[in-house]
Amino acid sequence: MSAPRTQLNTPEPRTLNPFPFILNRALVLGLGSSGEAAARLLRRQGTSVTLLDAGSGEVLEAKARALREAGCTVSIGSRDVPAGEFGLVVVSPGIPVEDEWIATLKGRGIPVISELELGWRFCRSRVLAVTGSNGKSTLVKLCREALEQDGYTAVAGGNYGIPLSALACEESPPDWVVVEVSSFQLETVDQFVPDAGILLNLNPNHLDRHGSMDVYTKMKARLFARMTGGQVAVISETASGLIREAIPGEARLATFGLSEAATFRYSKGFITGPGLAQSVSVKGTLFDNEVMGMTAAACVAALVGAGLPPGGVAAAARLFERLPHRMQTIATVRDVTFVNDSKATNLAALSAGLGMACGPVRLIAGGLLKEKDLDSVKNNLVKRVRGVYIIGKYSQVMASAWKDAVPCVICTDLKEAVQRAWNDSQAGEWVLLSPGCASFDQFKSFEDRGEQFINIVRDIEKGE
């Protein structure tokens, strides 16, 4: 691992890695924020751009009009792939590699890459990339704020923040882009290699798309596949056995965790590791527990590995404000605390939420399950939960799996679940929305689910 610099120096912009050929014509699949950013970046390079999106509606129509004004050809509400030659296809993360579009275009010999890859090839900033099953956005925010505390300019990009293709269009690029990278984006990267890459954790997630834990793990490993001695791979000690073999031998490697075997270790409010003149204190902050302490340890490891001073981590931790819908305290009524953790969309996130609870829990869970091993959280349910109030499509399945571990109540909707949990609660307990499931059976998004929870709690406050 590189020692931290004794003086603060702005890093030189990264050498561009664009395409080794003239890109005359490109096809962009998907008209979300990443697809729109990719199209505008390509137009900036003088490329003729065609966009396809199978969806329709007023929002897409408005985007299509704006992009047509920018010189793009746009087709929405259709699955027809246009004829003709394209030098490149850029795919949005919502489109899986098994999609008929991609199969057809690959069959025509056209290279297919993700928007992340496109943006990275033209991005002049250093890149710190974060992936994992849970907690990525919080780590991205901590890394960005720690860099800013040490005097660097830093921007959040990717899934949490601005698409990398949009950042590549900036006239004055920041010193660092801290980019959240999903397994969906990693499906179609080719040359992408960050200056520092972090695998925060590895738990069953998105198996409905990837099919198996083995495939999901391989997708995450693609973050490190092209690393050399010039980059650093930072991985959780609990995931190192699963992914270490996928990291090139010449890459520098650091682990983080709770044991003495970890390169960077969180223990009792402090982070220790090589290259640190003194331990980094997160005592008394959000990160002063074993769950969030590992997030802070990952941040320290990445900064030290990139040759940067880690002192900003302590300051950033002290000032850190939680992101919405992530263990967000909403209210305390009659000594019962209501906490919104709607972003917990898999069972590992649910378990982590229980681990951060400061009292016995009335748990609200349920929705669209992403995994099958419901037994994985039983020990935590037994230790911390006094009742589970289950909603959504898989409520019967979840109740059947957990009823021998904890009392389970099946509820028709979120309002009933919150009300019944509140009625059963006692002083000192938490009513925790940590669903462990995706939201799309009953809600527009996890944000919608969280906002509805907040509104229900506000009504309870008014009634007291």
The per-residue pLDDT for range 378-422, each reduced to its tens digit, is 999 999 999 999 999 999 999 999 999 999 999 999 999 999 999
CA distances from 377 to 134, 365, 382 (A): 15, 12, 9
The per-residue pLDDT for range 367-383, each reduced to its tens digit, is 999 888 899 999 999 99
> Coil, strand, or helix at residue 113?
strand
pLDDT for res 205: 67
For the chain, give every residue range classified as CATH 3.40.50.720: 25-110
Strands 361-366 and 385-391: parallel
pLDDT for res 109: 92
For the chain, give every residue range classified as CATH 3.90.190.20: 328-463
Using 50, 70 and 90 to split pLDDT, how confident is the model at 10?
very low
Using 50, 70 and 90 to split pLDDT, how confident is the model at 14?
low
CATH number of 119-319: 3.40.1190.10
Whole-model pTM? 0.88
Strands 270-272 and 264-267: antiparallel
CA distance 438 to 436: 7
Measured in whole angstroms, the distance separating CA 407 from the mean position of its chain's CA atoms is 32
* 272 Rama class: left (phi>0) / alpha (psi -120 to 50) / beta: beta
User: Which is the CATH superfamily of the domain at 328-463?
Assistant: Mur ligase, C-terminal domain (3.90.190.20)
pLDDT for res 349: 92
For the chain, give every residue range classified as CATH 3.40.1190.10: 119-319
Q: Which CATH class is domain 25-110?
A: alpha beta
CA distance 202 to 198: 11
CA distances from 237 to 118, 244, 267 (A): 31, 10, 14
The per-residue pLDDT for range 434-456, each reduced to its tens digit, is 999 999 999 999 999 999 999 99
**Contact of 392 with 367, CB cutoff 8 Å:** yes
